[in-house]
Amino acid sequence: TAVPPHRISQAEAAETMHHVFADIFANSETMSGVFASTGIRHRYAARPLDWYLQPMGWPERTEVYVEEGTRLFVEVANKALDAAGVRPDEVDAVVFVSTSGIATPSLDAVVHKQMGFRPDIERVPVFGLGCAGGVTGLAIAARIAEAQPGFTVLMVTVELSTLSFRLDRPDKASLISTALFGDGAAACVLRAGETGLAVIEGAGEHLWPDTLGIMGWSMDPVGFGVILVPDVPSFAATNLRPAVEGILGRIGLSVEDIGRFVCHPGGTKVVAAIERSFSLPQGSLDHERGVLADYGNMSAPTVLFILQRVLEDGLPERATLVSMGPGFTASCVSLARAA
């Protein structure tokens, strides 16, 4: 895992936003406490806080996305490859997941020479998965590795969600996202038939009909605009477990088989809703709350930050990664402890 160099405390972010959008916070009892209720202590951002207070459009945002995204890609990819004992020229395919910026060629091509990848590497850039991207990207990489035994697949996700901050959009969804989102990157190496940290047993997704407006981006000449409904926690509490049960059932497992759910936290209310949904004791998702406190919601990479902590604690016999994202979609990957 990796984060940008600029750390922003939640208190500092709250003070700045209360100054910039003074009228909104003064006139809304709901919004006045939004920064304090997130459970976040600090986050990391691609640029210092003052940078975000300047008017900007696509060119300025994209320049930072490519510059900082490239740096994070190289850092986190090399960390994962070093940990796996794999050289960059041994990587056969790279799955790159990102939804917080647009670049063509995608960043996996931008870093090709710097990383030392082979000319015949297979590139799979994936856009639009949002917070579900860490889990779905892992599933895509696993299927590529399984389909071609001996293939080494590098999965990288980089999200710079702070670049979506908009001075011109003082709506509730934008301000809530300003209280939640940070930047980060994560990577892992997958290969079929070898002993590693864990074995991917199966994966799946569930898309709820008529839910396109729950989460996503709108796009205009200034940049991305946040689409985020406030009742995601209640939606998760009611709908997540049946969806996950269906996914697990299709790969021959049940909720009772899972020793640890590793969940994208979204926010503290979402974490509590997930615990209720799966009838987990309150506080069970401790690493989810810990990563949220230390890094904020980094979108796709967040669940892999949590998995890293779970692995350091000792993976149970079986764990399942769960994320929700635009669609509105739930994505799962089931892991078994390596023998």
Cβ atoms of residues 122 and 152 within 8 Å: no
Q: What single DSSP character describes residue 148?
A: S
Which residues participate in catalysis according to the annotation?
131
Contacts of 256 (CB under 8 A, 6+ apart): none
Helix segments in 149-230, DSSP class H:
172-180
User: 189 exposed, middle or buried (CB, 10 Å; 0-12, 13-18, 19+)?
Assistant: buried
Rounded Cα distance, 291 and 309, in Å = 9
Integer Cα distance of 90 and 190 in angstroms: 12
The answer for 217, left when phi > 0, alpha when psi is -120 to 50, beta otherwise, is: beta
d(CA 45, CA 221): 23
Report CA 218 to chain centroid distance, whole Å: 19
* H or E stretch at 291: helix 286-295
d(CA 200, CA 313): 19
Q: Please, are residues 180 and 40 in contact by the beta-carbon 8 Å criterion?
A: yes
CA dist 41 → 14, 29, 111 (Å): 11, 22, 32
Q: CB under 8 Å, gap of 24 or more: what pairs does 23-32 form? A: 24/170, 24/175, 30/172, 31/172, 31/175
User: What is the rounded distance in angstroms from the CA atom of residue 118 to the CA atom of residue 92?
Assistant: 8
